[in-house]
Structure 1
């Protein structure tokens, strides 16, 4: 079917005039008449009937005009839909994050982004380092937000550092090591409460022990979440090696205490990761820009 012919017919039908339709379509009135005649011949059904000096729609013409209204209204909807995506007003972003940024940074970033982009869906998954990068590489996520060491960065990933965070040893305020300065060898004799294997903090601690050639600590309790590990240490058992972003408030409120380990100053990176050599959509770029501005 000739869509241009249908469009010309529809304009004549809603304006009631070949002349007005020609003005709207910015072509001559004879051209409108000629093309509509061709359209009638194509479909093989009359669209107009003579009425005095003018024309009226046939019954079929009236029904076709109604169908045309629905067709062109839906066309406008599709054009608007495409434009919204093109301008990043609508869509969906799949974000995968490790526990630290997921719990302490992304809530603010997501709220700020949603306030300015209500029609964009953010799907946020929290997991460990290994799984976060796997989801990104397998196209299950558009963005990975990672907290950890640069050594864990896969080759396939584009890495943009947002900030650097200190890692602290913490214990209960009643622990003998609270606010003390000790050696790493002494520190790792304590039972540790850690997250599961594959978490960046656990990898950092064991790597640190290997670097300084001390026996790694016993992981006495293992949890899948940060809050559980913190609460257990606060309750008076064991020690933890953890991001200062997570525990700074607890230390300031005397619910936890730092242990200052001699000659040890460890930091890790908070980074936004995307697939290397892949041009990001405008939507993803807007989200990344929001994260940077919200720091």
Structure 2
């Protein structure tokens, strides 16, 4: 419920570091800078003072932080109060999730939910976004969480969380010498691509098309069906790949992979809850609220 741009400001204000805020939010530092700049333009005031490599809140920034804290506390209190109506709900919940979410986002949330709701019987299925949507429409799932951009008329789509997709390559190879490349240079880079049906692939192809680059013109060396297999390929090749920031956070921290910015290209997406129209089970709603409350905590 906490507006993402306000969440970016709140995180930067807490950590007083654009870099640390980017790591906590699973986005790049340029994305954090962009959100803060847009918020400052929207409000018409400067929120941070830049002093070399350090930042500090302005008077306006301190005032906004006070209100942001109150807003976050109010949202948390509201969600906690609503959750009490469904506490110890019991029953069964069949959830499906696309690959990136299933591997890097949901495991900790699922463990926390099971601890808070021990009487709920869980079944969890992983597939690409298209597969999860098909299982939902076949009645084999109560809900799903996907990363694609489909619009099936019988499916309800609700935003869950934001994600940024970045171009990464092995640290130390020839390509890693470039902190930034031009859009047209991307056509010469050997790429590892996700398989057809992948939500990550869909959003990358769509964003590239919007920038005037067609997928058929890319120099695709190989197609693989998971982020883990792509990362292992990258570590033993001169290739690059578009991957979710969630999937590469560990490798970036350990300096095994590095991000290459593509000038003029910004690829972001919204993870989405999906459910069939008219099927709003209380247990499904409870799990959605729990996901929103516990995503990215800490």
Tell me how far 1:248 sits from its aligned partner: 2.3
Runs of 4+ in 1 over 3 A off after TM superposition: 86-89
Distance 1:207 1:116 in 2: 39
Gaps of at least 5 residues in structure 2 are: 1-85
Distance between the aligned counterparts of 1:225 and 1:262, measured in 2?
Answer: 26
2:209 is the counterpart of 1:190: no
State the partner residue of 1:177. 175
Q: CA RMSD in A?
A: 1.9
Where does 1:134-283 land on structure 2 (aligned, <5 Å)? 134-148=134-148, 151-178=149-176, 179-216=178-215, 217-278=218-279, 280-283=280-283
With normalisation by structure 1, the TM-score equals 0.65
User: In structure 2, what is the Cα distance between the partners aligned to 1:110 and 1:232?
Assistant: 29
Query: Structure 1 residues 174, 236: closer, same or farther in 2, change over 3 A?
Result: farther
Contact 1:88 1:282 in 2 (8 A): no
8 A Cα contact 2:170 2:238, kept in partner: yes
Q: How far, CA to CA, are the matches of 1:141 and 1:218 in structure 2?
A: 37
Distance in 1, Cα, partners of 2:188 & 2:122? 43
Identify the residue that residue 122 of structure 1 maps to in structure 2.
122
Partner Cα separation in structure 1 for residue 268 and residue 187 of structure 2: 18
Residue equivalent to 2:287: 287
SS in structure 1 at match of 2:256: coil
Secondary structure, aligned partner of 2:269: strand
| CA 155–88 in structure 1, closer or farther in 2 if over 3 Å, else same | farther
Deviation at 1:87, TM superposition (A): 7.2
Report how far residue 272 of structure 1 moved: 1.3
Contact 2:174 2:238 in 1 (8 A): no
Give 1:244 shift: 0.8
